[in-house]
Chain A
Amino acid sequence: MKTKLVLAALLAAVITAPAMAQTYKIGASVGLSGYAATTDTAWRDGVLMAAAALNAKGGIGGRMIEVIVEDNRSEPQEAVTAYRKMLQSDKVDIFASGCVSAGNFAAAAFVVRAQVPMMLCSILPNPPDQVKWAFSTLPPPKFEVETRLSYLKDSTQIRSFGILHDPTPYANLQATIAEKEAASYGLTVAGNEQYRQEDADLGVQLGRLNAAGARAILKIGLGGTTLTTAKNLVALGLDMPLLNSLDDVNLFRPVADVLGPRFLFVASPSQVFGAIPPGKLHDALSEFLTPWRAKYGDRDPNWASRGWDAVMLTADAVKLAGSTEGGKVRDAMEKIQGFQGTTGVYSMSSDVHYGLTENPLLLARIVDGKAQIVK
């Protein structure tokens, strides 16, 4: 009898061992090099930190989380390779991918065929069958535009501005929104100029915008070109303000050194934590920022906080679904309501896959090296 019990126990152990060891795999296609390196590296670190926090509490749906990271070099072609590898070889359960919109778009068709949900740091693909499986922790692009247009309308005498943007889908979308919405703020768009990430000089674009009557620049795009823009504005003797889209505050400090108070930028709550009043948002930020600051000091938390929220939303969806199966998690994601993240309150539905439905963004400037809300 004793021998039979031991054998039964051994058999049970053998049968259940793979299930116990099975992990919940989150794939991350991120640009660890290239133009999105700063943002996507931070996004990845936020994803990893959230996974560690959840693993400390038992993981997702009883499975420990394993994060698989692939560098797409901020290039769409590389992103396709990264996604294919994670789907076919790693067999990930969900994606939590970075900000390279074009890369996420390029892979969306076959990710959808595999019925794997995508949590993204980018704008969402357009085809209805693709957007069905994609969710974003990015604020809807119009929020970034509206934050800046409101400022121009309410706090300045400026009534004409120029748009300077990079050629990414995210930037193009914001530029289009700015052109459409300017009139409703009593503003006119003097011109719309594009630049490339590797451009050595943006003086021509700025000169054209100035000649067209722009009195402020709405810049849309990531990376070091903001610094080039600031330097070119000074070089051309143009004293107009520069209002930048969301990015890493550490990239903004040298820009503020060049332009001073003329440099303003869209900030997420985590970048101006000190100004956030006590409440649910403050609590959510504290939960994330405490381990973040312990590990990374004053490194910018914005993109990481979006990665953190992506994983926490995934955990919430799995809990709602009562399953880790891709289709069920996708369906549950659409049912999430009033989820307090570090980047705002998320409420999804079949029509709303950008979960942030109320604008959580603020306008800020750098004062004494710190991001401060512009009153």
Chain B
Amino acid sequence: MPEATLLLQFLVTGAGTGCVYGLVAIGFCVIYNASGIVNFAQGSFVMLGGVVTYSLWHALHLPLAVAALGAIIVSVALGVLTDLLVVRPLWHRRATMFVMILATLAVQIVVERLTLIVVGDAPMSLPPILSRGPIHLGPIVLDTQVAFIFAVSLLLVAGLRLFFTRTATGRAMRACSIDRDAAALLGIPVSRLVAVGFALSAAIGAIAGILVTPTQYTAYNLGVPFAISGFIAAILGGFGNPFGAFLGGLMLGITQSLATVAFGAGTRNVFSLAVLLIFLLLRPQGLLGTAKT
């Protein structure tokens, strides 16, 4: 395969992984906008998306679509419970943001451990959602599942744009992201929107997990790597900007892919973090964020 073609192939591969990072990053942004909290339990939603879908499909023999819906419901329930049982009590006690972020990290660990106890440590995977072979675009090979991830990701991003611009709830969440105190003074129910934010980001995280599991394996401990990548992607895109976060995810996936090509897999995290540092130093507001004045 000529070098240029090979490079293009790796860009496609990186972009596919980047879509998933982007969805995880959107989850970070949705909660951050509603509450100002960086939710480090976001990775557990991704993990549960894959693990619960597999468990319902494999153990209970439910159709894949029903199992996936079940996984989204479980993740949303966890998101809302995280808000009700962990975030809101701390919020009412006026805990510092640092404490709330630590609390979400604790949620991540608890969910991970509980998943280990309930389903064990065996790796799991799902069959391809579209059961046909890879698509050959000339010399480039595009996995149908990756194509599906692209399509669903773009639909989700478009849907979120509509949600944030055309619905009252979405607009209220944007108001919260600009100034929560002012939004509260205007009668916007901020705490209810925080719950909506947790539910929405949990659903997006679960969808990311469901989408990516047919291309790899999932297990109880795979939430954290996705959370780290999603967090970096969110910063690259401009923390708080869902669409920027998605672009940040694509950028991160492609960076990792190219780093692996050029310098080996051991350097992919080095390059991810190097890109993050460059952004923090030169463009801390990220790709689409606006600079604070």
Contacts and interface: CB of A to CB of B under 8 A. Distances in A.
Interface of A: 33-34, 37-38, 41, 167, 193-196, 198-201, 203-205, 207-208, 210-211, 223-225, 227-228, 231-232, 234-237, 250-251, 254
B17 A200 contact: yes
B185 to A, nearest CB: 43
A195 B121 contact: no
Contacts of B125: 224, 227, 231, 254
Given A208-B6, A224-B123, 10 more contacts: A33-B121, A199-B268, A200-B212, A201-B13, A204-B265, A207-B10, A207-B13, A232-B216, A235-B134, A237-B133
Per DSSP, chain B at the interface is helix
A61 B16 CA distance: 60
Contacts of B39: none
Per DSSP, chain A at the interface is helix
Of residues A231, A232, A251, which shows the largest number of chain B Cβ atoms within 10 Å of its Cβ?
Answer: A231
Given A33-B116, A38-B122, A196 B145 contact: no
A203 B143 CA distance: 11
B169 interface: no
Given A200-B20, A236-B141, A227 B264 contact: no
Contacts of B225: 198, 200
A201 B123 contact: no
B147 to A, nearest CB: 10
Of residues A194, A223, A235, A237, which shows the largest number of chain B Cβ atoms within 10 Å of its Cβ?
Answer: A235
Contact of B266 (A167, A210, A228, A234): A167
A78 to B, nearest CB: 14
A302 B255 CA distance: 39
B60 interface: no
B266 A194 contact: yes
Given A38-B122, A198-B225, A207 B6 contact: yes
Nearest to B21: A200
Contacts of B195: none
Of residues A38, A199, A201, A236, which shows the largest number of chain B Cβ atoms within 10 Å of its Cβ?
Answer: A201
A237 B136 contact: yes
A193 B266 CA distance: 10
Contacts, number: 101
Contacts of A236: 134, 141, 143
A227 B133 contact: no
Contacts of B260: 204-205
B257 interface: yes
Contacts of A207: 6, 9-10, 13
Given A38-B122, A237-B136, A201 B219 contact: no
A373 to B, nearest CB: 24
Given A204-B260, A225-B217, A254-B125, A235 B266 contact: no
Contacts of B261: 204, 208
A322 to B, nearest CB: 41
A237 B12 CA distance: 14
A34 B221 CA distance: 7
A193 B212 CA distance: 23
Interface of B: 1, 6, 9-10, 13-14, 16-17, 20, 116, 121-125, 133-134, 136, 141, 143, 145-146, 212, 214-219, 221-222, 224-226, 229, 257, 260-261, 264-266, 268-269
A198 B146 contact: no
A193 B265 contact: yes
Contacts of A196: 265-266, 268-269
B60 to A, nearest CB: 18
Nearest to A223: B123
A38 to B, nearest CB: 6
17 contacts: A38-B122, A167-B266, A193-B264, A200-B20, A200-B226, A201-B215, A207-B13, A211-B1, A211-B6, A224-B125, A225-B217, A227-B123, A235-B134, A236-B143, A237-B141, A254-B123, A254-B125
B6 A201 contact: no
A223 B218 CA distance: 11
5 nearest CB pairs, A to B: A224-B123, A235-B143, A224-B217, A198-B225, A228-B216
A194 B268 CA distance: 11
A284 B234 CA distance: 56
Contact of A251 (B6, B123, B218): B123
A33 B122 contact: no
A167 B264 CA distance: 12
B123 A198 contact: no
Contacts of B116: 33
Given A200-B225, A204-B260, A254-B125, A231 B17 contact: no
A54 to B, nearest CB: 28
A305 to B, nearest CB: 19
A41 B266 CA distance: 28
Nearest to A38: B121
B265 A194 contact: yes
Contacts of A231: 125, 214-217
Contacts of A200: 17, 20, 212, 215-216, 225-226, 229
B13 A37 contact: no
A251 B6 CA distance: 31
Contacts of B221: 33-34
Contacts of A223: 123
Contacts of B146: 235
A196 B267 CA distance: 10
Given A204-B257, A204-B260, A224 B219 contact: yes
Nearest to B228: A198
Nearest to A73: B221
A12 to B, nearest CB: 48
Contacts of A193: 264-265
A366 B106 CA distance: 40
A72 B116 CA distance: 16
A195 B216 CA distance: 14
B265 A199 contact: yes
